[in-house]
Amino acid sequence: MEDEGRIRIAADADLVLARQKGRRLAAAMGFSGTDATLIATAISELARNILAYAGVGEIELARIHENSRDGIVVVALDSGPGIADLEAAMQEGFSTAGGLGMGLPGARRLVDEFDIVSEVGKGTTVTLRKWRAFAA
Ligand SMILES: Nc1ncnc2c1ncn2[C@@H]1O[C@H](COP(=O)(O)OP(=O)(O)OP(=O)(O)O)[C@@H](O)[C@H]1O
Ligand SMILES: [Mg+2]
């Protein structure tokens, strides 16, 4: 796994930067424009959650090469309050903040692999992986 940078998320401008960096990395890796947008959108949702619930955190971007395929890895982590009921949080429409409750389930749908680890009082780490489709 090659580190492609980390972006501290503490304000709206950081969210925009993380989104841009994710999109650029995806494009540089040969993802389609559509896939680059999906990756950027997933990054936005995770960064928005960091701002809303933890206040501050980090988005890390990396490339992986595994079994002769290339993928992008996004890790969103914070040391915020954590999520008490992960199963509920992954349901569409569940929000503790009067939101639409679409961020986490939406991000999961946009990528190939989705992993979330959260502990109340410790924080939350979400890991996304998306593989580049083979050229037709
Ligand atoms: N990083 C986080 N730290 C603590 N709690 C979180 C975090 N991310 C999500 N949650 C919890 O999971 C719930 C669901 O998150 P999700 O992003 O799906 O919806 P939302 O943020 O409430 O609304 P939306 O994203 O649609 O505006 C949140 O309401 C919040 O309780
Ligand atoms: Mg959200």
The reply to whether the predicted model has a pTM over 0.85 is yes
Question: At the top level of CATH, which class does the domain 2-131 belong to?
Answer: alpha beta
For the chain, the residue count is: 136
How is residue 58 written in tokens?
């980090």
For ligand 1, whether the C-beta of 98 sits within 6 Å is no
CA trace torsion 92, 104, 107, 112 (10° rounding)? -90
Distance CA 9, CA 50 (A): 7
Q: How far is the CA of 90 from the centre of ligand 2 (A)?
A: 10
Q: What is the pLDDT of residues 1-30, one digit of tens each?
A: 899 899 999 999 999 999 999 999 999 999
How is residue 8 written in tokens?
């501290």
Cβ atoms of 82 and 118 within 8 Å: the answer is: yes
Residue with tokens 């990396």: 62
Burial letters 86-101, b for 16+ CB under 10 A, else e: eeebbeeebbeeeeeb
Q: How far is the CA of 62 from the centre of ligand 2 (A)?
A: 23
Q: What is the pLDDT of residues 105-129, one digit of tens each?
A: 999 999 999 999 999 999 999 999 9
Q: What is the pLDDT of residues 67-98, one digit of tens each?
A: 889 999 999 999 999 999 999 999 999 999 99
Q: Whose CA is nearest to atom 22 of ligand 1?
A: 95
Cβ atoms of 110 and 43 within 8 Å: the answer is: no
3-state SS assignment for residue 71: strand
Distance CA 46, CA 64 (A): 20
Cβ atoms of 3 and 75 within 8 Å: the answer is: no
